[in-house]
Each structure stands twice: as structure tokens, then as C-alpha cells.
A and B are shown apart, each in its own frame.
Chain A
Amino acid sequence: MFDPKSRILIIDDMSTMRKIITKILKELAFTDFTEAVDGKDAWEKVQTANPPFDLIISDWNMPNMSGLEFLKLVRADVKFKKTPFLLVTAEAEQHQVADAIQSGVDQYVVKPFNKESLKAKLESAHKKCSTRKAV
């Protein structure tokens, strides 16, 4: 599992969903959170974060810049291309999942979700990222 001290960027245009994700992450012992309201805001925060974020959890469907567009920006930058990235979506259709995987997402979380399902996705993403680092 990710280190509880991981610096986590949470992106959602809905403050309620940012609160829900933060609440569950706190229950999982994480402590360090930064919030962004859309992909554009998140990209600015990613570029200026020092030290960089250890984990990004982003909504998909947002105004200004979607989670998928933000993911593509992150993966295109050599500094962030290995940052663990989870996409959260209420609309997990097959073609969307395929788009996300092709763009380099580590896991996708389907809304609604609870503590157990988010924990499982985090563990899976951590395993995938650990394997990637080892290669």
C-alpha cells in the first residue's frame, strides 16, 4: 500500500466528492492532501508542487479540463509520467476504460464507491506502480 505520508492531489469540480475522498483516505491513515477543482487547476499545482505529489486521484468529467486530458498532460511530462494516477468516474463504459488505460491510468474507480473499494483500487495501483519502478 502507499505510504500514509504520501502527498496526495485530489481533483474534482464537486466539493462534496473531494470531501468524500478525503474522508475515506483519512480513514485509511493518509494525512497529506491538496485539492484542485479541475484539470487546469491540477496541472498548475502539479507543476509547482515541491516536493512533487506521490499520488493523484482525479475525477474524469470536469469543466475546463477533464481528468483524461489532465492525465495525458501528466504522462507526457518526463517529471511526472510515473506518478501513480487514479481516475474516478461515474461513467465506466468500455470505450472510456480503454481510453484511460491507453492514456496511462493506473486504476479507475467507479462511483459510487466505499472505503473497501477505494482501498482495493489503491492497493492495486500501488502494486502496478511498484512493478513499473522495478522494471
Chain B
Amino acid sequence: MSLDTEFIGPFLNATVQVLKVQANIESKTGKVYIKKPEDKSFGDVSGVISIDSEAFTGTVMVSFSEKTFLNIMSAMLGETYEVMNQDLLDGAGEITNMIFGQAKVVLNERGYGIKMAIPTVVSGKNHTLSTNGKGPIFVIPFESQAGPFVVHICV
């Protein structure tokens, strides 16, 4: 399956909406590009979720720098976090889950047949991530009041 605006758009809209409603943070999309092998990975914490349908598989990853992630978690939970801790990490999974869930509703109305999935979290300085999509990895950079972060989509 090829990625196009019809498929990526709902993830962009969901990302903006999730941060606005759940964390009261405004964000906007930068220019989408295809990840090259030599491109450095972005982020210290990523939420990862598999896209699984009868017709295709893929992966959605939302990656944050530690600083951006702590700012978002502080806004979501109403407390100030300045240091990463294990308890906070699943917040990356929850954010990814909400983005995926919102986008999935829109995409399934268009007949994509995406199934429910449970997110996982990967952390570590500039970690790398494997995907289960066959195509290129699309990188969608975001600027937000909490700092920059990136959404990766691969199918």
C-alpha cells in the first residue's frame, strides 16, 4: 500500500487534537519527508503501535526528546517533571494510543479495516526503531509549545 495524504492526514489531525485536549498544548506540522538510511534517529522516548489490517501492516511511532516529553507529561498530569522516571514512560504509549485511536476511526470509515492494537514504549538516547511496514518511513516533524517531536509512519 502506498502512503498518501488520505492516509497520513488523520494521524496529523489526531496528533494536534490529542495534545490540545489532553495537555492543552498547541502544535503544528512541519514538512513531511521520507527517512533516509543515513538520517539520525530522533528522540529519547517513543510510543510504538502496530498497524494491522487484512490488506497491509505497518507501524506508527511518536518520538520525543526527553525535554519535550517531560514538558508534555507535566502539562498532562498537572505536576512539574524535570527528570525522567520509569513511571512516566508509559505516557508515550498512551499519547500514541490516543493518536492511533482517533486516526483509526477516520481511516476505518474509509474502509481501511485497521484492527485494535496495544502500544509499547521504547526509550534511550537516539534509539533506533524497527518497523513492520514494507514501504519507506515517512517522518512528520511537529513544533509545539512543549518543544519539537516527530511522528513516523510506515506501511
Report B-chain residues with C-beta under 8 Å of the C-beta of A90. 97-98, 100-102
Interface footprint category on A: 20 to 34
Contact A15 B108 (CB under 8 A): no
Chain A 3-59 residues near chain B, CB threshold 8 A: 13-17, 19-20, 23
* Contact A91 to B94, CB < 8 A, known contacts A16-B76, A112-B21: no
CA distance A63 to B90 in the complex (A): 14
Report A-chain residues with C-beta under 8 Å of the C-beta of B105. 91-93
Report B-chain residues with C-beta under 8 Å of the C-beta of A93. 104-105, 108
Size of the B side of the interface (Cβ < 8 Å), in residues, is 25
Report B-chain residues with C-beta under 8 Å of the C-beta of A16. 73, 76-77, 88, 90-91, 93-94
CA distance A13 to B24 in the complex (A): 23
CA distance A63 to B118 in the complex (A): 8
> Of B87, B93, B98, which is within 8 A of A112 by CB?
B98
* Contact A15 to B87, CB < 8 A, known contacts A91-B116, A112-B17, A114-B21: yes
B101 to A, closest residue via Cβ:
A90
Report A-chain residues with C-beta under 8 Å of the C-beta of B101. 89-92, 111
> Of A14, A63, A89, which is within 8 A of B94 by CB?
A14
Let me know if B18 is at the binding interface, CB within 8 A: yes
CA distance A89 to B17 in the complex (A): 15
How many whole Å from B70's CB to the nearest CB in chain A?
A: 13
Contact A14 B21 (CB under 8 A): no
* Contact A20 to B118, CB < 8 A, known contacts A15-B90, A61-B97, A111-B98: no
Between A and B, 8 residue pairs with Cβ closer than 8 Å are A15-B90, A20-B76, A23-B78, A90-B100, A90-B102, A112-B22, A112-B102, A114-B22
Give 12 A-B pairs besides A14-B94, A16-B93, A19-B77 with Cβ atoms closer than 8 angstroms.
A14-B91, A15-B90, A16-B73, A16-B91, A16-B94, A61-B118, A62-B118, A90-B98, A91-B105, A91-B116, A111-B97, A112-B22
